[in-house]
Amino acid sequence: MKWLLIAVCGDCSRFALEQSSARRMDIDGPESGENVGQRWFIHSDWGHLPCRVLDRMKGAMDSITHGQATTVQRLRLVNRHWCKWVSEMVTSVTVFGDPSQSGMPSSWDLVVDAIANKFTRVCSLSCPEITDEGMSQVGRLTNLQQFNVLSCLRHVQCDHLQHLGMRMGGLEPKGVLARPIVRQVVHDGRITDSGLMHLGRLACLTRLDISGCSEVTDNGLMDVAHLSSLTHLDLSDCQKITDSGLRHVSRLTRLTYLDLLKLIRITSEGLEHVCELHALQDLGLACCSSVTSDGLKHVGKLTGLQRLGLYYGSDITGGGLEPITKLACLSHLDLGCCCLVSDQGLQQMGNLECLLRLDLAGCSLITDKGLEHLCQLTNLQHLNIMGCHSVTDKGAERIGKMPSLTHLCLAGCSITGSGLAHIEKLTKLAHLELPKGLDFAGQVETVAYVEGPAL
C-alpha cells in the first residue's frame, strides 16, 4: 500500500492508495460510499479521485510550482479522467508564435478548434503574434471575455468580450468594436484621433487607457465624450491635449478615475472643467507643469476625492494648498517634489482626518515646525519626508506622536541617534528608511539605510 499525503487549506488529507484493481480511498469529508465508523471509504483508485479532491490537490501544487503551465500539462497526461478535469478547470490560454508559419493549411482554424474542444470554459485568450487569419477564427470562442493581442482587430466577432488589450495596431470600425458589451480597452500608444472615432459605439465601455498616445488631440476626446458609461480614463502622457480637451472630458459624469500625468498643455483654467466631475475619486495631476496653485481652487470642489497626485507641481505653493485641506474624504496625497510647499501649506493639513498616506519627499522648505501640524493626523499610516533636510530630532519627536504609522521614510533628513529614540515608540511601524550612518534599535520588519537626494 502506498500513502499520499497532501497538505491543503491548512489540513492534511490522507489517501490510502492500494495497488489492487478495487482500491479504496479514505477521505475526511462525506462522499458517496461506505461509512465505517468515523471514516468514509470510496471504492475507487487514484486515477479517479473526485474532482473536489483534485481541485484541492491542484491548489497545493500551484503553491509549490507558482502556477506553472507545466503542471497543467503533466496532469492532463495521467488518464482520461484527469485530462477531462484539467480541461474543464482551465479558463485562460496563451498561444505563442504564429501557427500559420508551420506551412499547414488552416493552422489557426486547427488551433481555435483545439481550444474550443479541449478547454470549454476559456474566457481569457492571449495571442501575442496572431494574424488576420487567426482573428477571423477567434470569434468561435463564444465564452471569451478578455482578449489580448498585438496586431489590429478587423475580424473578431466575440459577443461576450469585455476586456480588449491591443498593441501595434489600429482600432477598426468592423469586428470586435461593433460589439457594445466591450468594457475595457487598453492600447500601447499608437492610437490616434481616427481610431477613437470607432469607440463611440461601445455603450458599455467603462475603462479606457490611451496613455502615451502622443497623437491624440482634443478632437479625439470629442468622440471619447460619447462614452457615457466610462468610469476610468487614463490620458497620461497624451501631450497634445489642452484645456479644450478637458471640456469634452467634463461630459463623462460617471468618471471616478482620471489620470492627466504629464499633460503639460493643460492649465489651471482647464481644471475648471474637471471640477464638474462630481463622482471623481482619484485624480492624477503629476508633472502638469502649467498647473499652479490657482488650479487647486477647482480641485477643492471635488468633495468625493480620495486620491490626489500633485507630484512635481513646480508652481504649487504652500498657501495654495488651502483648498485641498477641505477635502474630507482624501486618503492619499502626493506632494513629492513640490519644491515650493512649505510649513505654511501644512498648517491646515490636520483637517484631513481620513488621510492615510502623505508624500512630501523633496519638499525641502518643510521644517520641524511644519511637522507639528501633522500630529493631528492620527490615522496616517505612510509618511515620506525624504530629502527634507531641515527636519531634525525635534521633528522626529513630533513624528513619534503619530501612532498609526506603518511606513516612514526619513532618508535625507538631519536626524541623529537621539531623534531615533522617538521613532522607536511607534509600535505599528513595519518599514523604515533612514539616512546612512544611523543605527535603529527598534523592532520593525525592514530597515533601509539610504542617501537622501542632493538638494
Domain membership flag for residue 98: no
Domains identified in the chain, total number? 1
> How many Å from the N-terminal Cα to the C-terminal Cα in the chain?
72
In the DSSP assignment, the letter for residue 452 is P
Domain membership flag for residue 53: yes
Domain membership flag for residue 52: yes
* Amino acid symbol at 20: S
Domain membership flag for residue 30: yes
What is the tens place of the pLDDT at every residue in 337-387?
Answer: 999 999 999 998 989 999 999 999 999 999 999 999 999 999 999 999 999
Q: For residue 163, what are the β-bridge partners?
A: 146, 184
The C-alpha cell at 253 is: 459624469
3-state secondary structure 362-422: CCCECCHHHHHHHCCCCCCCEEECCCCCCCCHHHHHHHCCCCCCCEEECCCCCCCHHHHHH
Domain membership flag for residue 113: no
3-state secondary structure 264-306: CCCCCCCHHHHCCCCCCCEEECCCCCCCEHHHHHHHCCCCCCC
Domain membership flag for residue 46: yes
What is the tens place of the pLDDT at every residue in 107-159?
Answer: 777 887 788 777 777 777 776 666 656 656 666 776 766 655 544 444 444 55
CA separation for the pair 157, 191 (Å, rounded): 21
For position 307, what pLDDT does the model report? 99
Judged by DSSP in three states, 314 sits in: coil
CA separation for the pair 229, 222 (Å, rounded): 15
For position 82, what pLDDT does the model report? 72
For position 192, what pLDDT does the model report? 80
The residue ranges of the chain whose pLDDT is under 50 are 1-43, 150-157, 167-180, 454-455
For position 139, what pLDDT does the model report? 64
Longest CA–CA span in the chain (Å) reads 83
Q: What is the extent of the structural domain holding 61?
A: 2-66
